[in-house]
């Protein structure tokens, strides 16, 4: 017989062994989400890729401002003001106000503030890079007049028409694809593999034994895009959507972003025409069997945001972004149903540019008038119609977007201002108080913005 003390030791060792045997397989299976900056993530059989990735908490409701210094340090608190090249920060862990030179900052993130003025509804995109929301008034010769806020203290400003790439009136996105799968005759998707049927207002792949079933729709995509769809997965398998796909066949790969759920794990993968795949994010997502997705990407900057069931799951940046695509592809391994598929172009050129076209006016009903924009007033847009060689007038309320001269906007360069609308604009910060941010933009000059519309300031990328 063993002494009592030795028997106790044996019991402890046996319990510890059982605990390790149970927990190690569980934790080794759980997907691990990368955090921080300049992340390199590699999944089995996939190419290594670098990018900026930030894993977000399910409730991203920060009540603090934060600054990140170039040396990597960070401070949280409340930005009192920006004046004479210094940020005045009431830091949480330090008494009094800390004064930080703007030249020492890498970036500044502002907590959500309520705008003090009525938000503008138009968007101006500049040829030299960047866009911002404003209230467009009228054209005056070779200038476009606008205001960035209402009430006293918000003067009328001007930008040369030659510096404007495009103008959106009403900030309404251009709907590229929308379907609710209630009528088989109007379904834009064509099934390639699998057994696709309309069932209860959903597009259903009903063959449980099918691996790699796909259906594609033709839709030209570029600029800043917003996607949304709903996915039901009766089987614990894999299903997702290829966005910005260059080829309707996933077997031949082509370039695209694949957003999918795989055994409860959310992944975003970039494919290339050479057949390689690059994984960008990996997050746990216990949302089975129904999931509502929203995905936003900027084909110029490579900025990507992912939402799942109304929660922002991740934001990251692809340094080699997919710049355009012609197809949207649904994919399922086993049974899966898709619904409420929608593709919107938030900003960018409204359509393929036509040779010889000076300007292009896109109406809300989808009609286009090609020619030369002669005048924009508070009531109408006047265009010299290229085909009819006559003056055409469109009510301003019916105009969605105007693109000028086929000018392409350039990527925004640091330093730049990030807005809650998703816009960004290059410019040096002149000053900021609790109400107004003053920005010195190279193209326009001094611009005034409501602080409640500003999300952050990037001094150095």
CATH number of the domain that residue 84 is part of: 2.30.30.100
Residue 13: predicted pLDDT: 58
Least confidently predicted of 4-13, 98-107, 134-143, 149-158: 4-13
**Domain annotation covers residue 276:** yes
Domains held by the chain: number: 3
Mean pLDDT, residues 213-226 = 90
Please identify, among 319, 347, 375, the residue that sits at the C-terminal boundary of a domain.
347
Structure tokens at 4: 């009592």
Of 269 and 16, the one with more pLDDT: 269
Q: For residue 211, is pLDDT > 80?
A: yes
Residue 7: predicted pLDDT: 59
Residue 266: predicted pLDDT: 87
| Domain identity same for 236 and 321 | yes
Please identify, among 347, 369, 397, the residue that sits at the C-terminal boundary of a domain.
347
| Cβ-defined contacts of 446-449 (< 8 Å, 24+) | 447/132, 447/148, 447/157, 448/148, 448/149, 448/153, 448/154, 448/155, 449/132, 449/148, 449/149, 449/417, 449/419
Would you say 320 and 328 are in contact if contact means Cβ atoms under 8 Å apart? no
E strand or H helix that includes residue 29: helix 4-29
| Domain identity same for 93 and 194 | no
**Domain annotation covers residue 269:** yes
| Domain identity same for 184 and 310 | yes
| Domain identity same for 95 and 217 | no
Residue 11: predicted pLDDT: 62
Residue 288: predicted pLDDT: 57
Distance CA 298, CA 97 (A): 37
| Domain identity same for 209 and 300 | yes
**Domain annotation covers residue 11:** yes
**Structural domain for 69, as ranges:** 62-109
| Domain identity same for 267 and 185 | yes
Strands (DSSP E) contained in 309-358 are 311-318, 325-333, 336-347
Which band of pLDDT confidence, cut at 50, 70 and 90, is reported for residue 190? very high
Residue 346: predicted pLDDT: 82
**Domain annotation covers residue 126:** no
Q: For residue 56, is pLDDT > 50?
A: no
For residue 341, give the CATH number of its domain. 2.60.120.560
Cα distances (angstroms) measured from residue 41 to each of 123, 282, 286, 304: 36, 9, 21, 16
**Domain annotation covers residue 280:** yes
Residue 3: predicted pLDDT: 60
**Domain annotation covers residue 192:** yes
| Domain identity same for 243 and 317 | yes
Residue 265: predicted pLDDT: 83
Q: For residue 217, is pLDDT > 90?
A: yes
Residue 62: predicted pLDDT: 56
**Domain annotation covers residue 160:** no
Cβ neighbourhood burial of 98 (10 Å; 0-12, 13-18, 19+)? middle
The fraction of the chain above a pLDDT of 70, given in percent, is: 82
**Domain annotation covers residue 169:** no
Q: For residue 118, is pLDDT > 90?
A: no
Would you say 325 and 221 are in contact if contact means Cβ atoms under 8 Å apart? yes
| Domain identity same for 7 and 88 | no
Residue 160: predicted pLDDT: 95
Q: For residue 371, is pLDDT > 80?
A: yes
Mean pLDDT, residues 3-7 = 58
Cα distances (angstroms) measured from residue 36 to each of 41, 50, 243, 313: 12, 12, 26, 14
| Domain identity same for 4 and 97 | no
Q: For residue 200, is pLDDT > 80?
A: yes
Which band of pLDDT confidence, cut at 50, 70 and 90, is reported for residue 283? low
- Chain centroid offset of residue 56 CA: 14
Please identify, among 347, 380, 410, the residue that sits at the C-terminal boundary of a domain.
347
Distance CA 278, CA 302 (A): 14
Among 120, 118, 58, 90, smallest CA distance to 313 is for 58
| Domain identity same for 97 and 7 | no
Least confidently predicted of 134-138, 140-144, 386-390, 438-442: 386-390
Q: For residue 43, is pLDDT > 90?
A: no
Task: List pLDDT tens digits, range 294-314.
Answer: 999 988 788 899 998 888 888
| Domain identity same for 182 and 286 | yes
Residue 351: predicted pLDDT: 45
The angle formed by the CA atoms of residues 126, 128 and 133, to the nearest 5 degrees, is 25
Q: For residue 249, is pLDDT > 70?
A: yes
Q: For residue 255, is pLDDT > 80?
A: yes
| Domain identity same for 102 and 250 | no
Task: List pLDDT tens digits, range 331-367.
Answer: 999 999 999 999 998 876 544 455 556 888 988 877 8
Q: For residue 12, is pLDDT > 60?
A: no
**Please, what is the average pLDDT of the chain?**
81
């Amino acid at each position: 017989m063993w002494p009592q003390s030795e028997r106790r030791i044996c019991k402890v060792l046996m319990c510890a062994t059982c605990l390790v045997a149970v927990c190690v397989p569980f934790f080794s299976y759980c997907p691990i989400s990368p955090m921080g900056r300049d992340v390199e993530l590699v999944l089995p059989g996939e190419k290594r890729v670098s990018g900026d990735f930030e894993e977000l908490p399910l409730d991203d409701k920060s009540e603090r401002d934060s600054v990140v210094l170039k040396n990597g340090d960070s401070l949280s608190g409340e930005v009192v003001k920006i004046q004479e090249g210094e940020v005045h920060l009431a830091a949480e862990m330090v008494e009094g106000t800390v004064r930080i030179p703007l030249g020492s900052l890498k970036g500044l993130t502002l907590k959500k503030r309520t705008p003090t003025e009525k938000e503008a509804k138009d968007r101006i995109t500049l040829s030299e890079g960047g866009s911002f929301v404003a209230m467009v008034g009228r054209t005056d010769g070779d200038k476009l007049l606008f205001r960035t806020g209402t009430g006293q203290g918000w003067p009328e400003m001007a930008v040369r028409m030659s510096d404007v790439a495009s103008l959106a009136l009403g900030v309404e996105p251009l709907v590229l694809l929308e379907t609710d799968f209630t009528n088989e005759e109007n379904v834009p998707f064509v099934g390639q593999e699998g057994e696709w049927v309309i069932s209860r207002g959903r597009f259903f792949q009903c063959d449980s034994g099918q691996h790699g079933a796909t259906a594609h729709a033709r839709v030209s995509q570029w600029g800043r895009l917003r996607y949304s769809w709903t996915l039901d997965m009766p089987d614990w398998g894999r299903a997702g959507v290829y966005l910005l796909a260059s080829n309707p066949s996933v077997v031949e790969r082509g370039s695209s972003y694949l957003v999918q759920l795989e055994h409860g794990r959310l992944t975003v993968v970039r494919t290339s025409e050479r057949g390689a795949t690059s994984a960008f994010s990996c997050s746990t997502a216990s949302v089975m069997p129904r999931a509502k997705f929203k995905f936003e990407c900027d084909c110029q900057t490579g900025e990507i945001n992912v939402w799942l069931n109304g929660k922002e799951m991740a934001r990251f940046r692809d340094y080699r972004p997919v710049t355009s695509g012609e197809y949207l592809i649904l994919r399922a391994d086993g049974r899966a149903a898709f619904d409420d598929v929608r593709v919107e172009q938030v900003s960018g050129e409204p359509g393929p540019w036509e040779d010889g076209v000076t300007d292009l006016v896109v109406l809300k009903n989808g009609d286009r008038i090609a020619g030369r924009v002669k005048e924009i007033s508070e009531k109408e847009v006047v265009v010299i119609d290229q085909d009819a060689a006559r003056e055409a007038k469109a009510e301003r309320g019916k105009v969605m977007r105007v693109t000028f001269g086929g000018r392409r906007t350039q990527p925004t360069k640091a330093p730049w201002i990030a807005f809650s609308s998703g816009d960004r604009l290059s410019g040096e910060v002149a000053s900021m108080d609790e109400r107004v941010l003053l920005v010195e933009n190279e193209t326009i000059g001094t611009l005034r913005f409501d602080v409640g519309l500003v999300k952050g300031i990037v001094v150095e990328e």
